[in-house]
Chain A
Amino acid sequence: MPADAVAVRARTHGGALLASELRVLFRRWRTWAMLAALASIPVLMAVVVRLSSEPPGPGEGPPFLDQVTNNGMFVAVTALVVTTPLFLPLTVAVVSGDTIAGEASLGTLRYLLVAPAGRVRLLLVKYLSAVVFCLAASGTVLLVGWAIGVALFGAGEATLLSGDTIGVGDAVLRSLLVGAHVSICMLGLAAVGLFISTLTDAGVGAMAAVAVLTIVAQVLGQLDQLAWLHPWLFTHHWLAFADLLREPVVWTSFTQNALLQAAYVAFFGALAYGRFSTKDVLS
């Protein structure tokens, strides 16, 4: 190896690509439009409850809606629960399905690769940026939910599913926990999206495929005949947040979900690597 190559290798700036990736993600109109749409959910919910003459009774409407008037922070929890089955995964499908396929359809993939970005490095950076988006998406719902809830209802004492009453500090903690659970739920989906994205040069096609998968998985999860399959569906624990709102917290589904999502990330990450590291880039 020539001496100058050794000298050059000593100074590399590997993190620059992730920074650039995030800048590109958050420079896009699309990203902000999706975050704005997500933010509108807690706002809508809080305003409607506030304007209605009588507060929702226990068990009425979406989960925990009845707690909203006691402690506005529960707007965040309810909004997270409402967005988890469809709205949130849809945005994650858009971002993760677009990771590689979007670059391919723009034609920028070939230029990134000859820069050279390195195929493995690019794949990692793309997944990390999708993870950041998952956090940003659930974080948006959480923060906007807190803000609008406290503004309209104030922060008082609230009753948990176990009947215990918690104060403001605990409410913050519990809603953070739900936010963490929901974010983790999206990680497996993002890995599936990354893999699908390496299969095609059409970004929109990849997004649609990921969105359809999300719905199919949830439909399968409803069929009792497939009970044996249910624990393996990435959507299985999506709505299993109730245990986080008991006193004491029951961690079983939280950890089981985290393990399942980790398995999905490992499996589909490996598939994406296998596909992308040998793929002919002809776009």
Chain B
Amino acid sequence: MSETASLADQAETETADLAIATTALTKRFGHQLAVNGIDLAVPRGSVFGFLGPNGSGKTTTIRVLLGLASATSGTARVLGHDVPSGLRDALPRVGALIEGPAFYPFLSGADNLRRLDSADARADPGTRDARTARALERVGLTHAARKKARAYSLGMKQRLGIAAALLTPRDLLVLDEPTNGLDPQGTREVRSLIRAVAGEGTTVFVSSHLLAEVEQICTHAAVMHVGSLVAQGSLDELRGSGERVVRMLTPDGDRAVAELARLGLGAAEADAAAAAARRAGPGEVTLEAALPDDGPAAEDLVAALVTAGVRVRGFDVARPSLEERFVALTGEGFDVAR
């Protein structure tokens, strides 16, 4: 084999390890940049959380990846096929739930699935009924299979949408807010369903703004903010890139702040709501301070504080939770950023 060929092979293997790869992917609606030059790298076999506040461009990215919308610029590959030219070969291996489920209200749940299955020219009609029944069973809808989709509740529709994504064996599952409208029981079921599907080797790309959910099921995540990708990596990498935080509970707030400042830590009283949540007793305050990686060890801090006469009633050094990282990356406000 010639050298150039083996180099090409190597490049091929590298992208082949990614279920989704984009370079500088951009989508513009008029003047608005809905997706702004993102470089996504979703490893094969991962459960990938695609995070971002409302309007940050998650659904738009998914639409471009699946060929529903064309990219303004940049390139994308899905399962090693170019978007959009190679999607015809990629999409039969991709199951998707995009911005909520959608059905023919006058067809039963099972008929809706058969209809979508027959749209895929590569799906075998011989096994259609069996696969439909199996997909319905996986989402717990066997008993509602013959009910008209019009009569489905929000959560049942969501489940039916997930069933449609599972009609044939998939290499990639793209789920846009899959637990939207589900009851706590349903949310748990979806989570275990995602784990089961991932266990079969399927890459799962799940968009969400529910961090707890992502933290529980994902191996990797990316964070979108106003159309840009602000962070991406394995969960540990994402958490680890945040500074450690010292959190302490004490009745001697002023003295503690002074002592921590002497040790090089700028402490501040945590906001009232957070303090209340940590149930500070009467007269107690909760202090928080960022602890640099080259800062003093936790036990030295406590020793110094106690020596200075601070009554330490609680002390904790922790990496920020994903939620705190998320807020730090995307801003605290509840308002949609644009």
Contacts and interface: CB of A to CB of B under 8 A. Distances in A.
B278 interface: no
Contacts of A106: 102-105
Nearest to B16: A2
Interface string B73-96: 000000000000001110110101
B102 A114 contact: no
Interface stretch (A169-177, A248-256, A274-282): A274-282
A8 B121 CA distance: 10
A116 interface: yes
Contacts of B87: 116
A113 interface: yes
A17 B119 contact: yes
Given A17-B118, A118-B121, A280 B70 contact: yes
Nearest to A282: B69
A116 B66 CA distance: 10
A115 B68 contact: no
A118 B88 CA distance: 7
Interface string B104-130: 111100010011111111111100000
Contact of B107 (A13, A24, A110, A116): A24
Contacts of B68: 110, 113-114, 280-282
A210 B251 CA distance: 77
A91 to B, nearest CB: 18
A278 B70 contact: yes
B123 A281 contact: no
Contacts of A23: 115
B98 interface: yes
A11 B103 contact: no
Contacts, number: 102
A14 B125 CA distance: 11
B123 A108 contact: no
Please indicate which of the listed interface residues A23, A106, A110, A115 has the most CB atoms of chain B within 10 Å of its own CB: A115
B55 interface: no
A116 B119 contact: yes
A282 B67 CA distance: 11
B122 A29 contact: no
Contacts of A107: 100-102
Nearest to A19: B118
A112 B122 contact: no
State which size class the interface on A falls in.
Answer: 35 or more
A14 B86 CA distance: 18
Interface in A1-60: 1, 5, 8-9, 11-14, 16-17, 19-20, 23-24, 27-29
Nearest to B97: A111
Contacts of B119: 17, 20, 111-112, 115-117, 122
B106 to A, nearest CB: 6
Contacts of B104: 24, 106, 108
Contacts of B67: 113-114, 116
A106 B102 CA distance: 6
A1 B89 contact: yes
A29 B106 CA distance: 8
A13 B102 contact: no
Contacts of A281: 63, 68-69
Contacts of B92: 8, 116
B164 interface: yes
A111 B164 contact: yes
Contact of A282 (B63, B107, B117, B122): B63
A5 B90 CA distance: 9
Contact of A16 (B96, B100, B107, B121): B121
A104 to B, nearest CB: 10
Interface string B274-316: 0000000000000000000000000000000000000000000
Contacts of A280: 63, 68-70
- Which of B87, B101, B121 has the most chain A CB atoms closer than 10 A to its own CB? B121
10 contacts: A12-B122, A16-B125, A107-B100, A111-B102, A114-B67, A115-B117, A116-B119, A118-B121, A122-B119, A278-B70
Given A24-B104, A280-B68, 19 more contacts: A1-B89, A8-B92, A11-B122, A11-B124, A13-B122, A14-B121, A24-B107, A24-B115, A106-B105, A110-B98, A110-B99, A111-B116, A111-B164, A114-B67, A114-B68, A114-B94, A116-B88, A118-B88, A280-B70
Closest 7 CB pairs of A and B: A107-B102, A115-B119, A116-B91, A16-B118, A117-B119, A20-B118, A280-B69
